Amino acid sequence: MTLESPSRRDPARTRARLLEAAVAEFGDHGFSGARTDRIARHAGTNIRMLYHYFGSKDDLYVAVLEAVLADLRHDELQIDVDTMEPLEGLMGIFDFVENHFAAHPRLRKLLAFENLNEARHLAISTRIPEMATPVLSRIRKLLTRGVANGEVRAGVDALHLYVAMVSLSYYGRAHAFTLSRIFHKDLHKPSWQKAHLKMVRQMLAAFLAPEPG
């Protein structure tokens, strides 16, 4: 790719290209294995511009985490909780989470790398915790309405439920390589993933249903 000339430089576009290239590089190699010179080269610019826009490799990685998690939050917040029945809304949030993890394998890799690093870079960000607040607020609102109209069981904690949703969406894909080897079954096959999704949606709906009696 030809490096941009100063006369043609578009700051917003350059920053966006650097961020896109960084998502790919960090997603493929993790923080330790990623190289800033490769990011700059793939973005069609130079290392000086990378440090101009992002300051450091650490700051760039935090920006990457914020960007990919902002995309996930955007999908989660597509549910209009005021116009949907509570159980429908809760299942809809799960569907958005599940679809997003299915469509963004690099997000799964980035989260895996960051867990190995004990969330050292996530801890730096002030934006990421703020992003989570609206999601939990919507889940709490749906749970409260669902209990009130008898559609959802009482006593469900919003954070526990969200973590369960992410687990059901994430694990079968993030660990598909190892599980496929262990059980001699290709978990990447669309037919397996479709059947697994059907089962976990049934599990989630059954858990949320009011307890008998």
Residue 46 has a pLDDT of 94
Domain 63-208 has CATH 3.40.50.960: no
The architecture of the domain spanning 1-55 is Orthogonal Bundle (1.10)
Rounded Cα distance between 158 and 74, Å, is 18
Residues of the chain with CATH 1.10.10.60: 1-55
Contacts of 174 (CB under 8 A, 6+ apart): 108, 111, 112
State the burial class of residue 112 (Cβ atoms within 10 Å of its Cβ: 0-12, 13-18, 19+).
middle
Rounded Cα distance between 170 and 36, Å, is 29
- pTM strictly above 0.75: yes
Residues of the chain with CATH 1.10.357.10: 63-208
Q: Give the CA-trace dihedral at 123, 12, 51, 46, to 10 degrees.
A: 140
Residue 1 has a pLDDT of 44
Binned average pLDDT, 10 residues per bin, the chain of 213 residues: 52 93 95 96 95 95 95 84 91 93 92 92 91 90 96 97 95 94 96 96 96 76
Residue 75 has a pLDDT of 82
